[in-house]
């Protein structure tokens, strides 16, 4: 009898969990009450969890990893519909981790060192030569301007951060000779040596700064706040007058905008997006009547 029971149980497992079988609760909501869900959660916390204190062997971890690679992974080649993407986005909006959770994550990740093999695997997966970026060929994807709150958070997070001497030395060695001339991702065929028009002089620059109320049109910092520390002391800086269409010969006031050095350095990337963005910015402020 016991043997027959085992056979029946095995058959039931095969029937219930075979590929393509629809779960009994698929599409059903509100099956479990809040109280019942809480009891289940509490029964699996900490030492009550069946896996508490257990450490998987290297062999077991390797087997699990191999069983979920490539086409074996349930998410392999899965394409989400626009509705599914929206549902996932809405579900995560406003979700914040508690302080306790943040501390646990921090403690778990502190001192974690990746092996050389792990680093090679990560590098080979995402950054290998010939890897197609997710946004390649997609149109209409533009850089969204950061909100003031987002900028403040980024500024606060990076204040006082400095790379160690060892890190700076390693970065210096890794970049030597790799980003010069045509090898640089910002190479534009030697356009940097193009001369400005004769009308782009000190007087015109000062007029543009005055028009913009001596403020950076991106981060709104005042010119009086800009400075650089030198060996001899603090040296004040002026706002940089930037060409919106990147054409140094087009010195029309409608094509010029005041930027602080930090914001100006960011305009070397995704030039078309920045050009459109600044045109819209000047148009909103009444400087532009039509597009350039």
DSSP-derived secondary structure letter, 88 = H
Confidence bin at 290 (pLDDT 50/70/90)? very low
By DSSP bridging, strand 233-236 and strand 227-230 are: antiparallel
Please write the tens of the pLDDT for every residue from 70-114. Answer: 888 888 878 888 898 889 888 888 888 888 888 888 888 887 777
Please tell me the total count of domains within the chain.
Answer: 1
Contact by Cβ (8 Å): 272, 265: no
Average pLDDT, the chain: 80
Is 131 inside a domain boundary?
Answer: no
- Domain of 240 in residue numbering reads as 203-292
Structure token pair of residue 272: 């078309």
Is 288 inside a domain boundary?
Answer: yes
Confidence bin at 259 (pLDDT 50/70/90)? very high
Q: Which residue has the tokens 């910092």?
A: 221
Alpha-carbon span 214 to 205, nearest angstrom: 11
Please write the tens of the pLDDT for every residue from 46-79. Answer: 888 888 878 888 898 889 888 888 888 888 878 8
Stronger pLDDT, 165 or 7, i.e. the higher one: 165
Stronger pLDDT, 287 or 162, i.e. the higher one: 162
Q: Which residue has the tokens 């970065």?
A: 171
* pLDDT for residue 241 is more than 90: yes
Please write the tens of the pLDDT for every residue from 112-159. Answer: 777 777 777 776 666 666 667 767 777 766 666 778 888 888 888 877
The residue among 219, 222, 207 whose CA lies nearest residue 265 is 219
Alpha-carbon span 123 to 179, nearest angstrom: 19
Alpha-carbon span 249 to 197, nearest angstrom: 5
* Alpha carbons within 13 A on the beta-carbon side of 262: 15
Is 260 inside a domain boundary?
Answer: yes
Bridge partners for 242 per DSSP: 257
Backbone angles phi, psi at 80, to 5 degrees: -85, 140
Is 152 inside a domain boundary?
Answer: no
Is 78 inside a domain boundary?
Answer: no
| Secondary structure E strands in 104-239 | 227-230, 233-236
Is 189 inside a domain boundary?
Answer: no
Helix (H) or strand (E) holding 240: strand 240-243
Contact by Cβ (8 Å): 28, 22: no
Structure token pair of residue 74: 């349930």
pTM: predicted TM-score of the whole model, two decimal places? 0.38
Is 128 inside a domain boundary?
Answer: no
Is 54 inside a domain boundary?
Answer: no
Please write the tens of the pLDDT for every residue from 189-223. Answer: 666 566 787 888 989 999 999 998 998 888 888 89
pLDDT of residue 292: 41
């Amino acid at each position: 009898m016991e043997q027959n029971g085992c056979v029946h149980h095995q058959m039931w497992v095969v029937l219930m969990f075979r590929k393509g079988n629809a779960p009994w609760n698929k599409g059903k909501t509100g099956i479990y009450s809040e109280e019942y869900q809480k009891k289940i959660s509490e029964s699996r916390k900490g030492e009550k969890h069946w896996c508490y204190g257990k450490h998987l062997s290297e062999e077991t971890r390797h087997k699990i990893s191999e069983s979920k690679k490539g086409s074996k992974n349930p998410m392999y080649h899965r394409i989400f519909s626009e509705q599914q993407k929206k549902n996932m986005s809405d579900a995560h909006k406003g979700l914040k981790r508690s302080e306790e959770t943040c501390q646990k994550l921090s403690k778990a990740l502190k001192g974690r060192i990746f092996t050389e093999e792990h680093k090679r695997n990560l590098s080979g997966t995402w950054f290998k030569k010939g890897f197609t970026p997710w946004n390649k060929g997609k149109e209409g994807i533009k850089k969204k301007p950061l909100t003031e709150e987002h900028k403040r958070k980024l500024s606060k997070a990076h204040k006082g951060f400095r790379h160690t001497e060892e890190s700076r030395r390693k970065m210096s060695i890794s970049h030597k000779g790799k980003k010069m001339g045509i090898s640089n991702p910002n190479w534009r065929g030697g356009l940097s040596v193009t001369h400005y028009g004769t009308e782009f002089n000190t007087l015109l620059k000062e007029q543009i700064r005055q028009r913009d109320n001596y403020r950076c049109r991106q981060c709104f910092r005042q010119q009086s706040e800009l400075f650089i520390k030198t060996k001899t002391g603090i040296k004040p800086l002026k706002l940089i007058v930037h060409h919106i269409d990147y054409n140094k010969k087009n010195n029309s006031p409608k094509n010029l905008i005041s930027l602080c050095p930090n914001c100006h350095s960011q305009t070397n990337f995704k030039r078309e997006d920045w050009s459109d963005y600044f045109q819209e910015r000047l148009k909103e402020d009444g400087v532009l009547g039509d597009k350039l």
